[in-house]
Amino acid sequence: MKTALMWFCLIVISLLSLFPFYIMIVMGTHYSEDLFKGIPILPGSYLGENLKTVLQADFIKVYGNSLIVSVVSVVLATFTSTLIGYAVAKFQFRGRKLLQTFVIITMMVPTQVGLIGYIIEMRHLGVGNTLWPVILVWAAFPFGAFFMIQFMRDSIPNDLLECARIDGCSEPGIFVRIVLPIMKPGLATLATLVFLWSWNNYLLPLVTINKSEWYTLPIFISNLGIVHRTDYAARMTALTMTTIPVLILFILGSKTFMKGLTAGAVKG
Amino acid sequence: MNAERIINTSAASSKRRWGPRMWPYLFALPFVLTYAAFQLYPVLYSFVLSLHDWNGIGDKTYVGFKNYVQLWTNDPLFIKSLWNTLIMMAMFIPVTLILGLTLAYWTFNLTRGKRLFQTINVLPYITTPVAIGFIFSYLFDWQTGIVNLLLTKFEILEEGFYWLQDPWGSRAIIALMVIWRNLGYFMIIFMAGMTVIPQDVYEAAKVDGSTGLHTFRKITMPLLRNIIVFLVVTSVINGLQLFDEPKLLYGGWSGSAQVGGPDNTALTIIWKFVDESFGSNTRFGYASAIAYSLFLLIVLFSILSYRLTAPKEDKR
C-alpha cells in the first residue's frame, strides 16, 4: 500500500515534468488559430507549414548565432578555468592562498551588479550590438575556476607531475600531455554546463542585442511572429527545435551532466 | 674557463628556479586578466555610476548617495518589487525543498528506474526559460488555457479564472514555474548527498530498531544538513535575482510589453532594474543604485540564511 502510493506520486510528478514538453511539441503541429478552439491533445497536421514559417524567419542564421555564442563561450571558459585551476591546485607559490580566496569571492558577486558598467564598456570597445558581449561574459567564469581547482586537487597525482619534471618535460608540455588527458571528464562536465547556461541565457542578450541579425535563440523566439501576426504555433515549433537538441544532448550525457550539477554542492 | 663554467651553472640553476616559479602565475593570468576586464571593472564602474545622474548620452552629474536615498525612501515601486520578490521566494523555496527531499528519498530507495526518474525530472531544469514562460502562459490563459478548460469541464469552477491578471494568481504561477524548473535539480542534489552517507549507519539504525520515517528524521536529515544549507543559500541568492520567469510569463505569449504584470504584482527587483536602465527609462545611475542595493541585500540575506540553517557548531 505504502509503496503503491509512493510509485503513484513519483509517476504523477514525472508526468507533470513531462507534460509541458508534450504540450509544446503538440502545439507546434497545429495551425495557430486552431489552438484556441479546444485542447490540443493529439498532434495536428500543420507541422510542415509551421516549419516553413520558422525557417523563413532566419531561424538557421539565429541557430548559428546561438551555436557560435555557446561554443566560443565554452572554449573561453574552460581555457581560463583549467589554467587557473591547475595553478592553484598543483603549484606551491607565493599568493596561492590569495588566488584561491579571490576565486571564491568572485563566485559570490552576481553578474547583474556590473551589468550597466559592462554594457557601457562594450559600447566603448565598439562591440556593443554584436555577439561579443554575450560571449565575453563567460571569459572568466568563477564557478568554472572553483570547479577546476577542486577537480584537479582530487584527480591528478603530484608524483606524476614530479616524474615528468625530472624527465625534463617542459611545464606547458606537462599541462598538455599529462594534465589535460586526465582532466577529460572534468572538462566535459564544465563544457556541458557552460554550453547549457549560455544557450539558455536570456537577460544579457535581451539588453545588449537589438539588431535582428545578431539575435540568439531565446530573443529570436520571444520576438517571432510579432511583426505580421502572432503565430503561436510557429513559436512552439521554434521552441521545440531549440529545446529538443539540448534535451537529447542531456539524455545522452546525463551522467556527466548530473555529476557537474551536483559537483559544487556536495563538496562545498 | 673555470669562471665561465660557474657563471653557466649558476645561470642554469637560476633558470631552473625561476622556471617553476613563473609558471603558476602565467597559468593564473588569463583568468585574472579577463575577470578584471569583463567583471571587476564593470562592477566598479557601476558603483561610480550609481553616484551619478546619467541618461547614457549627456553629461554625468555627481549626486553622491542621492540615488540610494531616493530609491529606499521615495520609490514605492522599488519597495513593492522587493516585497514581490520576497513573497515569491517564500512561496517557492520551502515547497521545492520539501518536495525535492521527498522525491529524492523515494527515488533513492528504488531498486529500478532510479536513473529514469532522475533524468525525467531534471529535464525542466535544462530547458530554456523562454519555453517555460510560453508554456505556462498558455496553460494558464484565462480563455484558452488548459487549466481553465479542465477546471470548467469538471465543474470545479463556473467560469475560467483570470490567473494571470490576479495579483496572487500571478505570483503563485511564477512560484509554480520556479518550482517546476528547480524540483529535479534539488532532487539530484539531495540524492548526491545521500550517496555520500555511509550505508553502515543505516544498518546500525536498523539493528537498533529504527525504521522508515524515524530513520529519515534522525539520520538522513541531520547528515544532509550541509546540502540543505547549500540549497537554501543558493536559492536565496538566485531567488533575489528572479527575472526570467516573470518577464517571460508576461512579455512572451501575449506579445505585450506590459511591465510588472497586473498592478506590478509580478515586478521583481531585477525586472525593475532592467526597466529603469534598458526599458522604459535609461537612468543608468539610478539603475546602478538598484543593482548595488540588490548586491547588499544578497550579501545580507545569504549570511542570514546561512546563520539560520547552518549547524550550531559552525556558528562562531
**Average pLDDT value for residue range A203-212:** 87
Please tell me the distance in Å from A173's CA to the nearest CA on chain B.
12
Report the residue of B31, B134, B149, B197 to disrupt the A interface, i.e. the one with the largest count of A CBs within 10 Å. B31
The C-alpha R_g of chain B, in whole angstroms, comes to 27
| Helix, strand, coil percent values for chain B (each to nearest 5) | 75, 0, 20
For residues A85 and A103, is the Cβ–Cβ distance under 8 A?
no
**Chain A residues lying within 8 Å of B244, measured CB to CB:** 202-203
CB pairs under 8 A between A and B: 259
pLDDT range class, residue B14, cuts 50, 70, 90: very low
How much is the pLDDT for B168? 87
Please tell me the distance in Å from B1's CA to the nearest CA on chain A.
27
- Partner residue opposite B41 with nearest CB, options A6, A13, A117: A117
**Chain A residues lying within 8 Å of B42, measured CB to CB:** 114-118, 120-121
How much is the pLDDT for A225? 56
**Cα B34 off chain centre by:** 24
Residue bearing cell 506520486: A9
CA dist B184 and A36 (Å) reads 31
- Partner residue opposite B135 with nearest CB, options A20, A145, A202: A20
Q: What is the pTM of this model?
A: 0.86
pLDDT range class, residue A81, cuts 50, 70, 90: very high
- pLDDT (tens digit, 9 = 90+) per residue, A87-119? 999 888 888 999 999 998 888 888 888 999 999
**Which is nearest to B249 in space by CA: B240, B258, B241?**
B258
- pLDDT (tens digit, 9 = 90+) per residue, B182-231? 999 899 889 888 888 888 888 888 888 877 778 878 888 888 888 888 88
Number of helices (H), then strands (E), belonging to chain B: the values are 15, 2
**Cα B141 off chain centre by:** 27
How much is the pLDDT for B177? 92
- Cβ <8 Å between B291 and A93: no
- pLDDT (tens digit, 9 = 90+) per residue, B45-79? 999 999 999 887 888 888 889 899 999 998 999 99
Report the residue of A115, A121, A134 to disrupt the B interface, i.e. the one with the largest count of B CBs within 10 Å. A115
Topology of the domain covering B66-314: MetI-like fold (1.10.3720)
**Average pLDDT value for residue range A132-160:** 90
pLDDT above 90: residue B111 = no
Shortest CA distance from A245: residue in chain B: B127
- Cβ <8 Å between A265 and B119: no
User: How far lies A154's CA from each of A87, A95, A182, in Å?
Assistant: 14, 21, 11
Shortest CA distance from B39: residue in chain A: A114
How much is the pLDDT for A229? 58
Percent of chain A residues topping a pLDDT of 70: 92
How much is the pLDDT for A255? 77
How much is the pLDDT for A241? 87
**Average pLDDT value for residue range A251-267:** 71
DSSP A113: G
For residues B43 and A113, is the Cβ–Cβ distance under 8 A?
yes
CA dist A50 and A142 (Å) reads 41
- Cβ <8 Å between B120 and A175: no
Please tell me the distance in Å from B208's CA to the nearest CA on chain A.
23
Residue bearing cell 514555474: B177
**Chain B residues lying within 8 Å of A104, measured CB to CB:** none
Percent of chain B residues topping a pLDDT of 70: 89
Please tell me the distance in Å from B204's CA to the nearest CA on chain A.
23
Shortest CA distance from A82: residue in chain B: B27
CATH, domain A42-267, list 1.20.1090.10, 1.10.3720.10, 3.30.930.10, 3.40.50.880: 1.10.3720.10
- Cβ <8 Å between B127 and A247: yes
pLDDT above 60: residue B265 = yes
- Partner residue opposite B119 with nearest CB, options A86, A121, A251: A251
Please tell me the distance in Å from A213's CA to the nearest CA on chain B.
19
Shortest CA distance from A38: residue in chain B: B144
Cα end-to-end span (Å), chain B: 66
ipTM rounded to 2 decimals? 0.86
Contacts 24+ apart (CB under 8 A), A221-226: A221/B130, A221/B134, A222/B130, A222/B248, A222/B251, A222/B252, A224/A54, A224/A57, A225/A53, A225/A57, A226/B255
- Cβ <8 Å between B28 and A254: no
How much is the pLDDT for A99? 92
Report the residue of B116, B117, B122, B126 to disrupt the A interface, i.e. the one with the largest count of A CBs within 10 Å. B126
Shortest CA distance from A237: residue in chain B: B131
How much is the pLDDT for B4? 47
Q: Tell me the backbone φ, ψ of residue B240, rounded to 5 degrees.
A: -65, -20
- pLDDT (tens digit, 9 = 90+) per residue, A3-55? 888 888 888 888 888 888 888 888 888 877 776 666 667 777 777 777 887 77
Amino acid found at B40: L
Please tell me the distance in Å from B266's CA to the nearest CA on chain A.
17
User: DSSP readout, B104-121?
Assistant: HHHHHT-SSSHHHHHHHH
Q: Where are the domains of chain A?
A: 42-267
- Cβ <8 Å between B126 and A36: no
- Cβ <8 Å between B189 and A265: yes
**Average pLDDT value for residue range B256-282:** 83
**Burial of residue A173, with CB atoms counted within 10 A of its CB: 0-12 exposed, 13-18 middle, 19 or more buried:** exposed
Q: Tell me the backbone φ, ψ of residue B167, rounded to 5 degrees.
A: -55, -45
How much is the pLDDT for A227? 52
User: DSSP readout, A47-90?
Assistant: HHHHHHHHHHTTHHHHHHHHHHHHHHHHHHHHHHHHHHHHHHHH
Task: Select, from the ranges A177-186, A217-226, B28-37, B257-266, the one with the highest average predicted confidence (pLDDT).
Answer: B28-37
Please tell me the distance in Å from A188's CA to the nearest CA on chain B.
16
Q: Which of B107-116, B168-177, B237-246, B270-279 has the lowest mean pLDDT?
A: B107-116
pLDDT range class, residue B84, cuts 50, 70, 90: very high
How much is the pLDDT for A5? 84
How much is the pLDDT for B129? 86
CA dist B195 and A209 (Å) reads 44
pLDDT above 70: residue B16 = no
pLDDT range class, residue A73, cuts 50, 70, 90: very high
pLDDT range class, residue A268, cuts 50, 70, 90: very low
Please tell me the distance in Å from A193's CA to the nearest CA on chain B.
10
How much is the pLDDT for B149? 77
Shortest CA distance from A86: residue in chain B: B27
- Cβ <8 Å between B24 and A242: no
For residues A167 and A153, is the Cβ–Cβ distance under 8 A?
no
What value does the mean pLDDT of chain B take?
83
**Chain A residues lying within 8 Å of B127, measured CB to CB:** 21, 200, 243, 246-247
More confident residue, B12 or B311: B311
- Cβ <8 Å between A23 and B196: no
Question: Which set of grid coordinates corresponds to residue B56?
Answer: 547614457
**Chain A residues lying within 8 Å of B115, measured CB to CB:** 254
Shortest CA distance from A118: residue in chain B: B42
- pLDDT (tens digit, 9 = 90+) per residue, B221-243? 888 888 888 889 889 989 999 99
CA dihedral sign, ordered B182, B183, B186, B189? negative
**Chain A residues lying within 8 Å of B252, measured CB to CB:** 222
User: DSSP readout, B24-36?
Assistant: HHHHHHHHHHHHI
For residues A88 and A99, is the Cβ–Cβ distance under 8 A?
yes
- pLDDT (tens digit, 9 = 90+) per residue, A166-191? 888 888 899 999 899 988 888 888 88
- Cβ <8 Å between B270 and A251: no
More confident residue, A99 or B257: A99
CA dist A33 and B255 (Å) reads 16
User: DSSP readout, B198-227?
Assistant: -HHHHHHHHHTT--HHHHIIIIIHHHTHHH
